[in-house]
Each structure stands twice: as C-alpha cells, then as structure tokens.
C-alpha cells in the first residue's frame, strides 16, 4: 500500500509493531518505548504468559475485537478479510470511536508506538485513521520461528499445532502485504535478544525519522529487560516439504532476508505456497 501517512506537514510519527501473538512483539514494543516512543495510557496488565507486560492498550485491544467481529472474524480466524475493514468500520459507525480511542490513549505525543497483534490484520484501517490524526506511519514486522510461536500458543491457548501455524501465516502474510510502500523494518526476535543495539540501529535507519540517543540508564534498562529468559520453546526452524510447517519456514526465511532491504517484495512463489497451505483448511 502506498498510503498511510499524514501527508505534507505531518509532524507526528506512529510506529506499528506487527506480528503474530507470541512473536516477541511485547519485547520489541517496550524496547521502542524506552528508545523514545510513547506507549498507550491504559496498558493491559502483565500475565503468566507475559510476565514483563504486554505493552498494548486494553481499550484498543477491546476495540479491535469489536472491529474483527464486525468483519465476521475473531483474533484466531485464518480466512482472508472479505471486505476492507475501513469500509466496515465506517459502515458500522466505529470510525469516531477509533479516533477517540487513539486520542485518549496517546494524547498529543509526537512519537507513539502502537502494538496489538490484531493490527497485523487491520493495517490499512490504522494507516488511514492515524494519517487523518496527523501521523506519519511506519511499521516494524516482528519475526519469530513459527514453530516456537505455535508451541507457545499451544501452551497458552491449548491450540493445535496446525491451527497455530495457520495463524502465524495469516498474520504474517497480511502484515507484510499491507505494509508495502510504507516506511518499514523487519526485526527477528532472536536478533533483538542477541544484540538489541545493532538490531534497533538497523530498524531506526530503515524507518527513518529522528531518534534520541539512548542514555546509559536507558541502555541498562533495555539490557535488563531483554534477558534470555524471555525466550521459551527454542526450536529448530521447519525444514523442507509441502506441509504447513514447511510453508511457514519458507516464509520466515524469505522475510528474514528482507531485514537488510525491507522495501523489497518477497517471492510470489513463497507467499503463494503459504496462501495455498491456508486454503486447504
């Protein structure tokens, strides 16, 4: 998509952290917050699955569930959207509510970071709404080994492996496709934990904009936050084959290659095979 910013004169910036649940989006969002972007006012409480916080807005999560329901979906749906969510939101009278929620959660902050995995399926809607609010919009695609994500979902939600892999594919395909033409970066969760300085440095270069230099106190806080204890279910990447796990592994590797050139488009063969694996149920 080519849109998604506030046009000429926009002085505010919104960073969308995208990726499937359990992909490291919380860790990346908190890191971006510590690097200078404002987090929402009403944060979800920490939980057993996210002891260090989700770093996402409860009102926005609730509204996204309402929007998905209006689109005939839930957070664990794997079907493509049949109607553009922005059209549904306008038709259902939810546009004003979305604007008001963004305003109440972020106020007049000049740089904000917005994360709810559901937004991976609602990127055009949020790009429009944030653009109308005067923001230039950038995105970060968060990648994690899809088998690790699936195992984590199995532990948290008792979700079958095949279904969890399908969700990873749906969220990842939608997030990548709908951020084409936007300023974006690709961040692998493993790379963030291994060397957050180099990883976020590359991320900032790709997204552009002004970033304050982190203080020693900020660096120490990020060092303490991004401990190896955050990573559970460390598994080998899916190998070759024609099953869903293999399709997810191919897509992961294809997108990981975009970390150095995120404006590039992934192979149509890889994305097509991923979509095909979803079409078979």
Residue 37 lies in a domain: yes
Residue 160 lies in a domain: no
pLDDT at 227 (0 to 100): 75
Q: How far apart are CA 9 and CA 194, in angstroms?
A: 38
Residue 76 lies in a domain: yes
The yes-or-no verdict on residue 31 having pLDDT over 80 is: yes
Residue 164 lies in a domain: no
Return the DSSP state at 260: G
Assign residue 198 a region: left if phi > 0, alpha if psi is -120 to 50, beta otherwise? Answer: alpha
pLDDT tens, position by position, 148-193: 998 888 887 888 989 999 999 999 999 999 999 999 999 999 999 9
Domain interval for residue 214:
12-144+180-232
- Please say whether the beta carbons of 218 and 164 come within 8 A: no
Mean pLDDT of the chain: 89
Which residues on neighbouring strands pair with residue 73, listed in sequence order?
Answer: none
Residue 119 lies in a domain: yes
Q: How many domains is the chain partitioned into structurally?
A: 1
Which residues on neighbouring strands pair with residue 137, listed in sequence order?
Answer: 14
Residue 279 lies in a domain: no
pLDDT at 223 (0 to 100): 94
Residue 71 lies in a domain: yes
Q: What is the dihedral of CA 152, 195, 200, 103, to 10 degrees?
A: 40
pLDDT at 4 (0 to 100): 45
Residue 122 lies in a domain: yes
């Amino acid at each position: 998509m080519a849109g998604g910013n506030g046009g000429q004169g926009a002085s505010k910036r919104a960073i969308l952290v995208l990726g499937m649940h359990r992909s490291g989006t919380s860790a990346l969002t908190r890191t971006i917050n510590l690097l200078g972007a404002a987090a929402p006012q009403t944060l979800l409480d920490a939980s057993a699955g996210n002891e260090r916080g989700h770093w996402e807005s409860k009102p926005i999560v609730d509204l996204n569930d309402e929007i998905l329901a209006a689109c005939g979906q839930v957070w664990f749906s794997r079907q493509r959207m049949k109607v553009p969510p922005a059209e549904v939101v306008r038709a259902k009278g939810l546009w004003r509510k979305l604007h008001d929620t963004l305003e109440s959660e972020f106020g007049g902050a000049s740089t904000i970071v917005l994360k709810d995995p559901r937004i991976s399926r609602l990127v055009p809607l949020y790009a429009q709404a944030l653009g109308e609010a005067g923001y230039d919009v950038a995105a970060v695609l968060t990648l994690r080994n899809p088998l690790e994500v699936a195992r984590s979902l199995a532990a948290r939600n008792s979700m079958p492996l095949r279904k969890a892999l399908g969700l990873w594919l749906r969220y990842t395909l939608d997030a990548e496709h709908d951020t084409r033409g936007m300023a974006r970066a690709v961040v692998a969760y493993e790379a963030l934990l291994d060397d957050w300085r180099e990883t976020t440095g590359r991320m900032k270069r790709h997204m552009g904009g002004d970033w304050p230099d982190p203080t020693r106190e900020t660096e120490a806080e990020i060092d303490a936050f991004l401990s190896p204890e955050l990573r559970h279910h460390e598994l080998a990447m899916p190998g070759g084959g024609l099953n869903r796990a293999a399709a997810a592994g191919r897509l992961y590797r294809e997108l990981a290659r975009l970390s150095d050139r995120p404006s590039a488009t992934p192979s149509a063969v890889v994305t097509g095979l991923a979509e095909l694996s979803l079409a078979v149920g």
